[in-house]
Amino acid sequence: MFEEKKSFHWKIPTLVLVCILVLSSGIYIGTKLRDNDTKEQNKMASKVSNKNEKTTEAFGLNENCEIWLQTIYSDNSDTKSSPIMIGTVPDELLDKSEDEIIAYFNDKYPNREVESINKYEIVLTETEDVSSVDATKANKYSVEINSGYVGIYKYDSTGKKSIVEETQIEVDSLPRTVQDELQQGIIVSSKDEAYSKLEDMDS
List pLDDT tens digits, range 75-131.
555 577 788 898 899 999 999 999 999 999 999 888 889 999 999 999 999 887 766
Q: Specify whether 125 is located in the same domain as 137.
A: no
What total number of domains does the chain contain? 2
Q: Specify whether 124 is located in the same domain as 151.
A: no
Domain membership of residue 44 (yes or no) is no
Q: Specify whether 140 is located in the same domain as 124.
A: no
Model confidence, pTM: 0.44
Q: Specify whether 142 is located in the same domain as 196.
A: yes
Q: Specify whether 138 is located in the same domain as 125.
A: no
Whole-number pLDDT of residue 36? 60
**Three-state secondary structure call for residue 24:** helix
Where residue 110 sits, what CATH number does that domain have? 3.10.20
Domain membership of residue 184 (yes or no) is yes
Averages of pLDDT over each 10 residues, the chain, 203 residues: 50 66 65 61 57 65 93 68 88 94 92 93 86 81 90 88 86 92 93 92 78
Whole-number pLDDT of residue 176? 93
Whole-number pLDDT of residue 113? 93
Residue 195 and residue 175: Cα distance in Å, rounded? Answer: 18
Domain membership of residue 193 (yes or no) is yes
- Listing DSSP states for 26-95 in one string gives HHHHHHHHHHHHHHHHHHHHHHHHHHHHHHT------TT-EEEEEEEE-STT--BPPPEEEEE--GGGTT
Task: Find the domain containing 73 and state its range.
Answer: 66-129
Residue ending a domain, choose from 74, 100, 129: 129
Q: Specify whether 107 is located in the same domain as 137.
A: no
Q: Specify whether 122 is located in the same domain as 147.
A: no
What is the chain's mean pLDDT, rounded? 80
Domain membership of residue 142 (yes or no) is yes
